[in-house]
Amino acid sequence: MGRFSDRVAIVTGAGAPAGIGFAVARGLAAEGARVVLGATSDRVHDRAAEVTAATGSDAVGVAADLTTEAGAQALVDAAVQRWGRVDVLVNNAGMTSVTAGWDAEEQVTDLTLAGWEAALARNLTTAFLMCRAVVPVMRAAGYGRIVSVGSTTGTTNAMPGQATYTAAKAGLNGLSRALALEVVAEGVTVNVVAPGYVATGSQLAFEQAAAAAGPAGRSGTPDEIAACVLFLAHESASFVSGAVLVADGGHGLPETWPVA
Residue 197: active-site member: no
- Distance (Å, whole) CA 127 – CA 112: 23
Identity (one letter) of the amino acid at 4?
F
Report helix, strand or coil for 33. coil
Distance (Å, whole) CA 246 – CA 155: 8
8 Å CB contact between 60 and 46 = no
Phi, psi of 129, deg, nearest 5: -65, -40
Annotated catalytic residue within 39, 165, 179, 196: 165
Three-class DSSP category at 35: strand
Cα atoms in the 13 Å half-sphere on the side-chain side of 31: 17
CA distance 246 to 7: 26
**37, 15 contact by CB (below 8 A):** yes
Give the SS3 label for residue 191. strand
| Contacts by 238-243, CB closer than 8 A, 24 or more apart | 238/187, 238/189, 240/189, 240/191, 241/180, 241/184, 241/189, 241/190, 241/191, 242/176, 242/177, 242/180, 242/181, 242/184, 242/190, 242/191, 243/191, 243/192
Catalogue the active-site residues.
Answer: 165
